Amino acid sequence: MDLRDPGAVAVAAARTPNVTCNNCGHRLSWKKIKEMVKDYGTRCTWCDTFLDCFSANIEVRADNAYLLYETPRYWWHVTERDDWLKNVTLLGMFVHVGTPQTVRTYHDIIVQNADWKTVLDAIPFVSPRLHLYRVELAKDAVVDPQIAIDSNYWPHLLGDDDENHAYKYVNSVEVPGSISLLVPYKDLTNITEVITFTTRPINKEA
């Protein structure tokens, strides 16, 4: 896992697109960033290099910079599994949770993407609807002070990594440059299925 000190992680200026071309260094427009996520890639306007969420250079969004140093109590999780809340096998696993913004985007990608729908329809335990949960970090949960960089390769089972604690990471896919959390399921408490997202712009309280 690629871990970095928070001060070593690049942060975009306020109201500035936070993705740059890994070839020529020019910034993508907000429209191009959205295209990169929705269509699994885009081309740099300046040099025509193909860029996807793992080849482009992604800076932390200005509106998520506070999460490099702060860890909110509340996070959100969206899943297609009917049994997520009561599945005891999750106790030995890591799960991904995010801010309202990243979870909403993940939700919308699945709902709007026909390829995802075809895959999900073929899985027996998947519900025809998505389940949204608000979760709280347990008081004794330990969050690594360093920040992981999203490579789409993560430990799944406790014991797959040297330490069984939570890691904040720079999200590359749902909302590039947002901060999400990889956390042992056992470190979540007050898990509540909800029907809507918080309307608060900052993920500090629910």
Q: Is the pLDDT of residue 197 over 70?
A: no
CA neighbor of 16 nearest in space, from 50, 65, 51? 65
Cross-strand partners of 51: 42
pLDDT tens per residue, range 159-170: 765 568 899 999
What DSSP assignment string belongs to 31-92?
Answer: HHHHHHHHTS-EE-TTT--EE-TTTSEEPBPGGGGGGGT---SEEEEEEEETTTTT-GGGGG
Place 206 in a pLDDT band, splitting at 50, 70 and 90.
Answer: very low
Report the pLDDT value the prediction gives residue 161, as an integer from 0 to 100: 59
Report the pLDDT value the prediction gives residue 123, as an integer from 0 to 100: 44
Cross-strand partners of 11: 60
Within 8 A by CB and 6+ apart from 198, the residues are 74, 76, 100, 134, 206
Three-class SS state of 181 = strand
CA–CA gap between residue 21 and residue 101 (Å, rounded)? 24
CA neighbor of 181 nearest in space, from 194, 197, 165? 165
Global pTM reads: 0.84
Query: In Å, how far from its chain's centre is CA 45?
Result: 26
Q: How many helices (H) and strands (E) does the chain have?
A: 3, 12
pLDDT tens per residue, range 33-68: 999 988 889 999 999 999 999 999 999 999 999 999
Cβ atoms of residues 166 and 141 within 8 Å: yes
Report the pLDDT value the prediction gives residue 109, as an integer from 0 to 100: 65
Mean pLDDT of 145-156: 88
Q: Where are the domains of the chain?
A: 19-58, 62-194
Token pair 């080849």 is found at 55
pLDDT tens per residue, range 71-86: 999 999 988 777 787 7
Place 107 in a pLDDT band, splitting at 50, 70 and 90.
Answer: low
